[in-house]
């Protein structure tokens, strides 16, 4: 039995379990939540439940196939690459330019991610993710170096005062008059632990704004502002408009992806190009830019 403390207040249940059950596969953690083997105050809870002070969490005994005392070996190549990808750092936070193909955390067959690498690089800090990027999305990723900064920055995420701008290459000619996308989104956890998002009138309000559109006959280059921060928001909004993002293996168009591969595009063409942080007790107002790869400068 575990009693929630001040340090864990506000954490999602799934993130709490991922942290304390470091060697347990992500799919298995979602399975024990779904089956009701994890109880909070003797009741079932969903993965997105936010922990409250004094909550009592019962976690069933889980046999690990990995030796918990055996540290994960992180290659020097990744350590050097992430160290060199730091765009901004002060005593409370770090912004990195996350490469495409690197997960933000371990799980589902992934031995380590950005959070594990950063904890290795900054062993004296309590490194935590402020927000997430999909494994194949590149660009600005914000991490906190202590619990107090984490809570302050997460508040900025919750009230949408943390401004995030993305670049995306999408299928077809994006309509010049299509600026705001307002489909409500509903997140579901599938039986295998995979998270998927669907357009649903009963879901959460979601607003995506197109700041700039470079249209082409076969594909378009968009500059996109997230006015809300829902999971997979840009990817699902583009899919709902019939203009799937190139290289998207979850919400994309297979035929379009095959055509784009012929042009050398073999990754998800979504890049977090700009991050604007409001002033908090832990930082001044900050604007950070991540230069995209040359793939995003192609003539659409």
| Residue 170 · residue 223 · CB < 8 Å | no
CA distance 57 to 67: 24
Q: How many CB atoms lie within 10 A of CB 149?
A: 23
Show Cβ contacts of residue 258 under 8 Å, excluding neighbours closer than 6 positions. Answer: none
Region of residue 101 (left: phi > 0; alpha: psi -120 to 50; beta: else)? left
| Residue 78 · residue 99 · CB < 8 Å | no
The radius of gyration of the chain's CA atoms, rounded to the nearest angstrom, is 20
| Residue 207 · residue 227 · CB < 8 Å | yes
Region of residue 242 (left: phi > 0; alpha: psi -120 to 50; beta: else)? left
CA distance 208 to 182: 7
Which position among 14, 55, 134, 248 bears the catalytic label? 134
Closest C-alpha among 120, 106, 107 to residue 78: 120
Name the burial class of residue 88, with classes exposed (0-12), middle (13-18) and buried (19+) by CB atoms within 10 angstroms of its CB: middle
User: Does the annotation count 55 as an active-site position?
Assistant: no
Show Cβ contacts of residue 153 under 8 Å, excluding neighbours closer than 6 positions. Answer: 93, 130, 142, 144, 162, 277, 280, 282
φ, ψ at 293 (rounded to 5°) = -70, 165
Catalytic amino acids? 134
């Amino acid at each position: 039995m575990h009693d929630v403390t001040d340090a864990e207040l506000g954490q999602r249940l799934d993130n709490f379990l991922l942290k304390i059950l470091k060697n347990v596969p992500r799919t298995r953690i979602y399975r024990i939540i779904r089956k009701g083997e994890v109880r909070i105050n003797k009741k079932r809870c969903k993965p997105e439940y936010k922990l409250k002070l004094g909550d009592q969490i019962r976690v069933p005994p889980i046999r690990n196939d990995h030796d918990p005392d055996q540290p994960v070996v992180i290659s020097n190549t990744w350590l050097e690459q992430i160290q060199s990808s730091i765009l901004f750092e002060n005593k409370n936070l770090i912004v990195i330019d996350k490469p495409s193909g690197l997960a933000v955390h371990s799980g589902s067959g992934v031995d380590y991610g950005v959070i594990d690498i950063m904890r290795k690089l900054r062993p004296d800090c309590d490194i935590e993710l402020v927000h997430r990027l999909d494994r194949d999305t590149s660009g600005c990723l914000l991490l906190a170096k202590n619990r107090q900064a984490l809570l302050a920055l997460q508040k900025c995420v919750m009230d949408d005062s943390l401004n995030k701008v993305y670049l995306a290459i999408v299928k077809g000619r994006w309509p010049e008059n299509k600026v705001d996308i307002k489909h409500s989104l509903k997140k579901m956890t599938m039986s295998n632990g995979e998270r998927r998002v669907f357009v649903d009138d009963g879901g959460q309000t979601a607003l995506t704004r197109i700041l700039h559109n470079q249209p082409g006959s076969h594909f378009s280059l968009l500059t996109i502002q997230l006015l809300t921060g829902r999971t997979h928001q840009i990817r699902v909004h583009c899919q709902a408009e019939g203009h799937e993002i190139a290289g998207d293996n979850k919400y994309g168009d297979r035929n379009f992806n095959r055509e784009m591969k012929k042009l050398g595009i073999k990754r998800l063409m979504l890049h977090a190009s700009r991050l604007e942080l409001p002033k908090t007790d832990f930082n001044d107002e900050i604007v950070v830019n991540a230069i995209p790869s040359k793939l995003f400068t192609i003539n659409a």
